[in-house]
Amino acid sequence: MYASPLILASTSPRRAELLRDAGYAFTVVTPPLHEPDQIGPGVPPAQQAEALSFFKARSVTHQVCEGLILAADTIVASAGQVFGKPADLHEARKILQALSGTTHQVVTGVTLLDAASRRRLIQHDITRVTMRTLAPEALERYLDSGAWEGKAGAYGIQDRADPFVARIQGSFSNVVGLPLELLERMLAEWAEATESVPGSRHGGPSTGVRVQ
């Protein structure tokens, strides 16, 4: 595993908490750029999430000279639609009404980017979430709470939306915002590849990269 502290390119307290609870050493750098929640029509959700995570990692490279940058971006896909973070309460209501009673995909793209060499490893994880049919009064109470703000799909499974979720297939931490199981595998792959590069301090492979 990569031994030095990670540089977390995120303002998400949930991602920081997941890393902290898992025992990772890291510093936080706020991404200066506000990337779009979606890449565009015709791009599969997994590739959208990967690209968004890469953009986020790349946006902090002018703030750090060296170190391994970690960035993640989570979107929700259902019935051909892709949902990011809602802009306001009205959009949050529309998203939750669309997801109510469905089994949808929570997709998180994860990027490891070396600040000095710009080598990167980009992958994604997918969790299937089955949401109960939301009663109108329960939906309005949740919307009034403001807990939907800043969350892909307008809900967070670690928050008051928990009663909305009937079943999870896959990584729980992925739904929170950072798939720890995938991150561990990526860091192991990164460390193994780095050791195989003569004279490399941080390095890393481009295996799995879909963003050039």
Q: Which residues are catalytic?
A: 73
Burial class (CB in 10 A: 0-12, 13-18, 19+), 33: exposed
Q: Cβ distance 43 to 77 under 8 Å?
A: no
Question: How many Å apart are CA 210 and CA 212, to the nearest integer?
Answer: 6
Token output for 210? 């879909």
Residue 53's H or E segment, with its range, is: helix 45-58
**Sign, CA torsion 104/210/191/118:** negative
Scan for tokens 């004279």, then name that residue. 199
Among 124, 118, 125, residue whose Cα is nearest residue 205: 118
Question: How many Å apart are CA 10 and CA 7, to the nearest integer?
Answer: 9
Token output for 64? 């750090």
Query: What is the b/e burial string over 180-199, where b = at least 16 CB atoms within 10 angstroms of the residue's CB?
Result: bebbeebbebbeebbeeeee
